[in-house]
Structure 1
């Protein structure tokens, strides 16, 4: 299927590693121009160089999204380079373990800045360009908004907000024909996930028990699979899809795990 994304300029926050990298690579394969937006210039450039070597197009931008002004600066750089923005993927964030019992005000607010406030700021700053292109927004979310996890109040609150903003923006932006959807992730294998598993005393047993709870295939979702769904939602192939939360999770959230 031709997703008609050739030379479309798509911003991916947290695009240098993990799920963001998966999305960037799929975009590049489709002929789009992904903008890798991340805090580490070396990480951004490493992925950019690899994509360019493979014949793709890409544009790295350094931004620390916990600083509100950086969202505006990033959009300014993209518009200065290309004069347009065709899509935005809000992906950057971290499950930082700010809980209720052991958290505090400062940590909770800091986590909101890491995980949801920049979603709002990036969308707001990109909005004039998205109006001009009738572009699309995809917010990456987590199962934690549905299932809870324990000990991570701020991340759960952020993901609940991501889901709510997806539907709020889909409604608000109807007059401009800007579609807004979310891709919800459960257990996706990334280098960061591997680092977490390696930190556990019984890492192999723990990973095996997690996989056993994933109904479809008893395996982790891949970053490429998240990328495939995200890129589809950015494209005109999903031209009448908006306000949707799409779970790419092997049935983790909604299927009865007694079957596995």
Structure 2
């Protein structure tokens, strides 16, 4: 089945993470479908990724952008419009589980909201005129923390809860324009950042085993490739009548009864 993404302009926020990160893997998969990827990120790795894609004959664009700065977002969208004249898809994929708890400062809490929630709103706001013209869609990357809590991360939890609420709100807003909005909810995904955290623990191997044992399907973490596969489906014509949905790519982590788990030794 065809995704029909060829020639479509896909804006991916947070696509310049380390090689193997969710954003970078989505970038590669989307480019492989023939789309025109736009990387919005504050990391100059985005320039390296765009140049690599250009060498493969893929028309990619990197716009260095701090997504907590509305002026930079507005300027980035103007640059995209000048080059391509359209935007077909926006993927909001910025998130930092920053550990801003009730013990933190008000400013730290507000900054967490700016990064993890307000950036989604700003990006969508400025891309919206282009998306209306193309009948495009928005995909928000969410987290289980919005639904399960985690402890010690009030800013991130509040932000990700807001992301899910906005997903449904925007799905309603978009109906008159034949546009869609969905969210992917991630639980435990083995990204380079996750691996770095595990490697930094004194008992990292034991911690990793204990996490894997709690994931019902296969007792393993989700891979970034599995997230990217679902993203491709949701932004493509294959999901043409799917909107306002939270799609869990988590091996059953959030919903399945832990009593069903095998005893792993």
Report TM bin, short chain.
Answer: over 0.9
| Corresponding residue SS for 1:122 | helix
2:28 pairs with 18, 21, 25, which one? 25
The residue that corresponds to 1:8 in the other structure is 8
Distance in 2 separating the partners of 1:207 and 1:48:
33
- Report the equivalent of 1:87: 89
Find the residue that maps to 2:110 and give its secondary structure.
Answer: helix
Q: Which runs of 4+ in 1 moved over 6 A?
A: none
Residue 131 in structure 1 maps to residue 132 in structure 2: yes
Distance 2:205 2:260 in 1: 23
CA shift at 1:54, angstroms? 4.2
Counting only pairs closer than 5 Å after superposition, residues 57-136 of structure 1 correspond to structure 2 as 57-100=59-102, 102-136=103-137
C-alpha distance in 2 between matches for 1:251 and 1:57: 37
Give 3-state SS (helix, strand or coil) of 2:218's partner. Answer: coil
The 3-state SS of whatever aligns with 2:98 is coil
Q: Secondary structure at the match of 2:252?
A: coil
Question: What is the rounded CA distance, in whole Å, between the counterparts of 1:206 and 1:169 in structure 2?
Answer: 38
Cα separation, 2, equivalents of 1:208 and 1:49: 38
Q: Following TM superposition, by how much is the alpha carbon of 1:120 offset from its aligned partner in structure 2, in angstroms?
A: 0.3
- TM-score, length of structure 2 as denominator length: 0.95
Aligned residue for 1:258? 259
Give the distance between the partners of 1:217 and 1:252, measured in 2 at CA: 11
- Residue 55 of structure 2 corresponds to residue 56 of structure 1: no
Report SS of the residue matched to 1:167: helix
Cα pair 1:31 1:57 within 8 Å, conserved: no
Spell out, residue by residue over 1:220-242, the C-alpha distance to the aligned partner (whole angstroms, 9 max, x if none): 11111111111211111111000
CA distance in 1: counterparts of 2:77 and 2:184, whole angstroms: 23
Aligned length: 258
Q: Distance in 2 between matches of 1:53 and 1:203?
A: 39
Going from structure 1 to structure 2, the CA distance change for 1:222 and 1:54 (only over 3 Å counts) comes to farther
Instruction: Tell me which residue corresponds to 2:42.
Output: 39
- d(CA) in 2 for partners of 1:225, 1:55: 25
1:168 aligns with 2:138: no
Deviates more, 1:169-178 or 1:250-259: 250-259
Is the 8 Å Cα contact of residues 15 and 36 (structure 1) preserved in structure 2?
A: yes
The alignment's TM-score, normalised by the length of structure 1, stands at 0.96
CA RMSD across the alignment: 1.1
Deviation for aligned residue 1:142: 0.3
Gaps of 5+ in 1: none
Residues 167-225 of structure 1 show CA distances to partners (whole Å, capped at 9, x for unaligned) of: 00000110001100000111111111111112211111111111111111111111111
